[in-house]
Structure 1
């Protein structure tokens, strides 16, 4: 049984994918903290309504392929999230035009890490409840 066929696990998995991609974007911002003219970027938040509509449209199930020539499912890779440039305050820009504020980026990374840990804990709790309901030990 594929846990992603259950909408709760599918939603948690999508949230973890988004958080993983966001962590990569924030790491790029930190890596470019000394690049002249660099504007920090972030991922556009995925709304709950859009996520629910996507789950309902696909029925919560993703297609599987058994042969190389078969069509793959509609599920896209982690790059399906929209990246946007952050609004930078003119007062925050360095003389070289760089708008990265390391403290802000580190705070965002810490928040992303906490959200990811929360999502993992929810995933573990619900999968252990499912195993318990099926009569399997966790």
Structure 2
């Protein structure tokens, strides 16, 4: 009955994606005044998870990146719709703040899925 609990793998992958994306958004915000810096982002979770065959594994931006496996091909530079400033910087702090809110919601969703699944599992085991 409980040979493959894919819902836990999906929730875990969603949480790791949110963490990786938050790292990228934080880097963008930290470099908001750096001349020539191009804002980066990570492909949406759904796209990465589907391309991965739903195995729940992620790809890293660099070797040893927090134990994840998020590939550089999943990083897309210049996704920002903000205008490039005269010094060549494309970071919009307002856009990055909105992304941070979206990321928080994604993380909260992954935790809610995990908690709900644990509740169902506990109920099934206790009967």
TM-score bin (small chain): 0.7 to 0.9
After TM superposition, the runs of 4+ consecutive aligned structure 1 residues lying more than 3 A away are: none
Gaps of 5+ in 1: 61-75
Cα offsets for 1:49-87 (capped at 9, x unmatched): 324x243xxxx8xxxxxxxxxxxxxxx932424212023
- State which drifts further: 80-89 or 19-28: 80-89
SS of residue matched to 1:42: strand
Aligned residue in 2 for 1:49: 50
Tell me the number of residue pairs that the alignment of Structure 1 and Structure 2 aligns: 112
Any unmatched runs of 5+ in structure 2? 57-65
RMSD over equivalenced CA pairs, Å: 2.4
Q: What TM-score comes out, normalization by structure 1 length?
A: 0.71
* 1:77 maps onto 2:67 in alignment: yes
Task: Please say which structure displays the higher CA radius of gyration.
Answer: 1
The TM-score normalised by the length of structure 2 is 0.77
Q: Which residue of 1 aligns with 2:103?
A: 112
CA pair 88-128 structure 1, distance change in 2 beyond 3 A? closer
The Cα offsets for residues 8-46 of structure 1, whole Å up to 9 and x where unpaired, read as: 110111111111000000000000001000000001224
